[in-house]
Amino acid sequence: MGLIIAYILFLLNLLSIIPTMYPLYIWKLVTTGSARRLGDRLLLKVGEIWIENNYRISRMLYGVQFEVIGDSYKDLKHDGRYMIICNHQSWSDIYIIQSVLNRKIPLIRFFIKDSLKYVPILGHAWLALDFPFVKRSTKEQLKKNPELASKDLENVKKVCEKFAGMPFSILNFLEGHRRTPERVQKLQKKNPYENLLRPHSGGISVVSTALKNSLDAFIDLTIVYPTENPSFLELMQGKIRKLKVFVDVIPASAVPVEENEQFAPMSKKMKRWVDERWALKDALIGKEKHSK
């Protein structure tokens, strides 16, 4: 019964944004200059209210609490420019990240497959809020035509251009996939980590280089769940009520962002930095597990 109530409330919260989102989106499409910027600001407010209400629902129904750990958390700015990285274990991750950082930093955006823009309501909301949609070639397509890889990178760079010079927060899951038991088993021989999957640095390197003159800091989040294989359904059922989120804010000047766009996809210095961060995260999660 609790799950049904939660589902109904989350659905109602999603539907509640329709009366304001669609008129504002149309306003944004037909205006320019300061009028359009006003529409953007109002749409961002709608997004923040939607995120806040989602968290209120889970807190009201189950008393869900996130313990945020990290002194630099209090230094985050709502008008900052941030690149966010995080371990990826569950569909709950995005919900948790949004809840923890909502109104602390600019509305969090993440790269979305181009085809998802057609998803009812959510797809339109992502479009209205300027989420970056990208077309990515499949492995089969890349095998037939390796030149598509260059085209994919150009698409990412083009998407990044709209964020230059404005407050933004971009989330990037470097592991690329959720850490499920099946994937852990499949990648066991190639994975040096006990609690994480191997991260990929190419994507964040390309985006960081494209935004190198705009970035204030990197936000490194580590989510530690109380269970080994968490699921979004467990969170919605109230089976996960408390979890820890470690926050580390790293100045952009301390991150080895590749200057040359040509070398960004294969940047060795960015790969070393990402590997070092993942080693620290893996040790932190292991320490938390053993302290229980």
Q: What is the mean pLDDT of the chain?
A: 86
* Rounded average pLDDT over 101-119: 89
* Rounded average pLDDT over 202-216: 89
**Tens of pLDDT along 69-108?**
999 999 999 999 999 999 998 888 999 999 999 999 999 9
Where b means 16+ CB within 10 Å and e means fewer, 22-58 reads eebbebbeeeeeeeeeebbebbbebbbbbbebbbebb
Which pTM was predicted?
0.89
Question: For residue 215, what pLDDT is reported?
Answer: 92
Q: Tokens at residue 72, please?
A: 């630099």
* Sign of torsion over alpha carbons 225, 227, 230, 235: negative
Proportion of the chain above pLDDT 70, given as a percent: 87
* Rounded average pLDDT over 119-132: 88
**CATH (one of 2.60.120, 1.10.760, 3.40.1130, 3.30.160) for 66-291:** 3.40.1130
Question: For residue 150, what pLDDT is reported?
Answer: 57
Domain ranges of the chain: 66-291
**Tens of pLDDT along 36-57?**
999 999 999 999 999 999 999 9
**Tens of pLDDT along 161-187?**
777 778 999 999 998 766 666 666 666
